[in-house]
Amino acid sequence: MEVRRLAGALGAELLGVDLSEDFPENEIRGALLEHQVVFFRDQRLTPAQFMAFARRMGKPIEYPFVRGIDGFPEVIEVKKLEHERHNFGGIWHSDTAYLEEPPMGSMLLARELPPYGGDTLFANQYLAYETLSAGMRRVLDGLTAVNSSANADVSRTREDRIKEQSRTTEDFTAEHPVVRTHPETGRRALYVNVAHTARFRGMTGDESGPLLRFLFEHQVKPEFTCRFQWRVGSLAFWDNRCVQHNPVNDYHGYRRVMHRITLAGDRPR
């Protein structure tokens, strides 16, 4: 397996790997921990093969808001159709931070793509934390964030999918440390996001707003990011504990269909 870095901040393509056959599980896991998000090309996987890979990497779980595809409840279809204006999850975020135990990671496999656009951005939250001043880090280390699935911006990006494929209309809320320690690497990462974080515990939204706005802007600075251009059969696997992502919504009038699997995580600490 060849590891080819994609950017200075994070991201690497893993070449010479066929995920439908035997593959170097430990090397892939090591590359994920080192680079935070890894990419594979030309993986024409069936849903069963996709699930088999996911089970080697973790425990697939169902997404709370969208039903899975037939026969595979843990595989959801992430799609934007020709007539839709909002894409699914089209805002910077860490997946389902409003759950008590947010996912360890997520996998996305490209099935149908527009003729242009539809790239995905990723941001390294280790760097977002480590580049803050010592004074700011001390402030954040003592704060807890209140995260909610009811955030209006992110709800709007999935409105069409929920109408069509909803599993639940329940709102979820969870409190997590603003700075979490990665359970495998021991590194500290900023763990708030503009899609889900509503306020700090013990503060109102208005009181929390100025500091949160600073953090939301800081944590996705260009020097913390990489950009991935999809091809059919491309697969991305990212570490949700230290990475945010944002699918670029720049292909109106065209269809984009992806399959996603989410892997179980633990309670942030």
Q: How many residues does the chain have?
A: 269
Q: Between the CA of residue 28 and those of 37, 40, 70, 235, 248, what are the distances in Å?
A: 10, 10, 28, 13, 26
116: phi then psi, degrees, rounded to nearest 5: -155, 160
**What confidence score (pLDDT) does residue 152 get?**
53
Closest CA to 122 of 42, 32, 232, 1: 32
User: CA angle at residue 3 from 124 to 264, to 5 degrees?
Assistant: 50
Question: Given pLDDT bands bounded at 50, 70 and 90, which one contains residue 89?
Answer: confident
Type of residue numbered 192: V
268 lies in some domain: no
Q: Which domain holds residue 110?
A: 2-263
**What confidence score (pLDDT) does residue 125 get?**
98
pLDDT greater than 60 at residue 269:
yes
**What confidence score (pLDDT) does residue 189 get?**
98
144 lies in some domain: yes
269 lies in some domain: no
Of 149 and 213, the structure prediction assigns the larger pLDDT to 213
Handedness of CA 3, 79, 66, 198 (dihedral sign): positive
pLDDT in tens, 74-88: 999 999 999 998 898
Alpha-carbon Rg for the chain, nearest whole angstrom, is 18
95 is catalytic: yes
Q: What is the CATH number of the domain that holds 157?
A: 3.60.130.10
Closest CA to 18 of 54, 46, 43: 43
Helices vs strands, H then E, count in the chain: 7, 16
233 lies in some domain: yes
Question: Given pLDDT bands bounded at 50, 70 and 90, which one contains residue 245?
Answer: very high
pLDDT greater than 60 at residue 195:
yes
Question: Given pLDDT bands bounded at 50, 70 and 90, which one contains residue 162?
Answer: low
**What confidence score (pLDDT) does residue 169 get?**
58
Closest CA to 123 of 154, 87, 94: 94
171 is catalytic: no
Strands (E), 52-104: 60-61, 75-80
pLDDT greater than 70 at residue 30:
yes
Which residue among 93, 161, 182, 259 is the active-site one? 93
Contact 94, 219 (CB under 8 A): no
Which residue among 158, 161, 245, 256 is the active-site one? 245
Give me the percent of the chain exceeding a pLDDT of 70.
Answer: 93
86 is catalytic: no
Query: What gap in Å lies between CA 2 and CA 258, rounded to an integer?
Result: 25
146 lies in some domain: yes
Which residue among 35, 95, 182, 256 is the active-site one? 95
Tokens of 149: 């699935």
182 is catalytic: no
pLDDT in tens, 166-192: 555 578 999 999 999 999 999 999 999
Tokens of 223: 């020097």
In angstroms, how far is the first alpha carbon of the chain from the final one? 33
Domain count for the chain, please give it.
Answer: 1
pLDDT greater than 90 at residue 199:
yes
**What confidence score (pLDDT) does residue 113 get?**
98
pLDDT greater than 70 at residue 126:
yes
Q: Between the CA of residue 38 and those of 82, 125, 233, what are the distances in Å?
A: 29, 16, 14
Which residue among 158, 196, 256, 260 is the active-site one? 260
Query: What gap in Å lies between CA 264 and CA 122, rounded to an integer?
Result: 20
Type of residue numbered 111: R
pLDDT greater than 60 at residue 253:
yes
How confident is the prediction for the chain on average, in pLDDT?
A: 93
Average pLDDT in the 225-238 region?
Answer: 98
